[in-house]
Amino acid sequence: MSQTLAASPALTRLAEDEVIFRDSVYEFADREIRPLAREMDEHAKMSPALIEKLFDLGVMSVEIPESYGGAGGTFFHSVLAVEALSRVDPSVGVLVDVQNTLVINAVLRWGTDEIKRKYLPKLASKTIGAYCLSEAGSGSDAFALATRATEKGDGFAITGRKLWITNGNEADMFIVFANVNPEAGYRGITAFIVDRGTPGFSVGKKEDKLGIRASSTCELLFEDCVVPKSQILGDVGKGYKVAIETLNEGRIGIGAQMLGLAQGALDHAVGYVKERKQFGKTIADFQGVQFQIARMATDVECTRLLVYNSARLRDAGQPFLTEAAMCKVFSSEVAERTASMAVNLFGGNGFVKEYPVEKLYRDAKIGQIYEGTTNMQLGTIAKNILGA
Ligand SMILES: Cc1cc2nc3c(=O)[nH]c(=O)nc-3n(C[C@H](O)[C@H](O)[C@H](O)COP(=O)(O)OP(=O)(O)OC[C@H]3O[C@@H](n4cnc5c(N)ncnc54)[C@H](O)[C@@H]3O)c2cc1C
């Protein structure tokens, strides 16, 4: 019995290096991000100086091996970093999440040695990446994408328009999905790496958003943009595999973002109810308020179990698809209701920008939309349960 327990420690029990890593990222976020969060939200702009510090901290290259200048961590470390950052600012959380769980993840898994030598040292030191799949006409139906790539000399010429691209403003390296053979349907989809500055490629309009406002979301334009064949990630016609497999993992990162957000909202609520007095006592003295805090804490704990379990399964090389979909559905709903309850507990102060919970409430909404909407996740879960 004791042997079984030793072999299966509690999911939320972290190894020593994981505790040190998570705490150092949270301390950084508390010290360096908290004072900037409101201003970055108002101006819808990520601080360039903060981005430099994120590289110095090592959270922009969590899984890149040390031999390429990265932090040499695990996927689980990426999840801990995204959680710790999102507890303070979910906009910074998603910047780091896309860099690690989508972009670096795809390069590590699908990149040729040449691509790894070219991009991993840059991604570890100064280059931000973006992951470019969605278009105006293809969101949930991602493989209906209309961007085309046609063979031209030793490369492919990309023409089309991407929409909703996170990090579009800051990125220098873009993983772009285009179809080289529309007649083959999704089997024509191919992933290309496009550098900022490549002729025919430009970053268009930046969206003005409800939440995660400091995270840029941009349109990208490709007009006969020629990319050499050496910039193909994975094989020609196998881009759908690159997309599916990275997004399956990426959604655990979004779960971590929503977990951090919910924990942040709970932290603020606990602090506030112990200070605020009504009817001659702190509002934490009222059992009605205590029960609301208890529900929030229970939700956060359940979310942490789902997120950590999905990430641990992924690192162990075990199936995690259904767990990851569940973790995204649940974490985004918990983030929304926890932030909503924090607003309630702050009373009028919850509704104004001077206090932090109003922002978290706005930031929470995106969790149910990007990297596969809640309906798409429910479809994945149902398919597995029903075997349909
Ligand atoms: C802030 C932000 C950042 C983003 N970042 C990126 C990024 O970095 N890279 C990228 O490629 N994309 C990105 N996206 C795009 C995002 O992934 C899509 O918006 C998302 O997948 C939904 O697609 P859609 O907006 O076209 O909605 P639609 O697909 O049109 O969905 C609309 C509604 O219909 C429902 N629906 C659609 N199909 C079905 C179905 N078969 N069954 C049941 N319900 C269905 C959906 O659940 C949703 O409620 C981002 C979006 C936002 C808002």
pLDDT tens for residues 37-73? 999 999 999 999 999 999 999 999 999 999 999 999 9
139 in contact with ligand 1, CB cutoff 6 A = yes
Rounded mean pLDDT of 292-304? 98
In whole numbers, what is the pLDDT of the chain averaged over residues? 97
174 in contact with ligand 1, CB cutoff 6 A = no
Q: Which residue's CA is the nearest one to ligand 1's atom 43?
A: 375
Give the confidence band of 1 by pLDDT, cuts at 50, 70, 90.
Answer: very low
Cα atoms found within 13 Å of the Cα of residue 126, Cβ hemisphere only: 1
pLDDT tens for residues 209-256? 999 999 999 999 999 999 999 999 999 999 999 999 999 999 999 999
Rounded to the nearest angstrom, the distance between the alpha carbon of 132 and the centre of ligand 1 is 13
Rounded to the nearest angstrom, the distance between the alpha carbon of 256 and the centre of ligand 1 is 19
| Residue 135: per-residue pLDDT | 98
Its pTM stands at: 0.97
16 among known catalytic residues: no
Backbone angles phi, psi at 152, to 5 degrees: -150, 110
Distances (CA, A) of 171 to 56, 263, 337: 17, 29, 32
Please enumerate in sequence order all residues whose Cβ is within 8 A of that of 138, keeping only pairs 6 or more positions apart, or say none.
144, 145, 146
H-helix segments, 98-238: 105-110, 113-125
Rounded to an integer, what distance in angstroms lies between the CA atom of residue 32 and that of residue 126?
Answer: 19
373 in contact with ligand 1, CB cutoff 6 A = yes
369 in contact with ligand 1, CB cutoff 6 A = yes
* Helix, strand, coil % over all residues of the chain, rounded to 5: 60, 15, 25
Rounded to an integer, what distance in angstroms lies between the CA atom of residue 285 and that of residue 269?
Answer: 14
Catalytic residue among 83, 333, 358, 371: 371
231 in contact with ligand 1, CB cutoff 6 A = no
**Are the C-beta atoms of residues 92 and 261 closer than 8 Å to each other?**
no
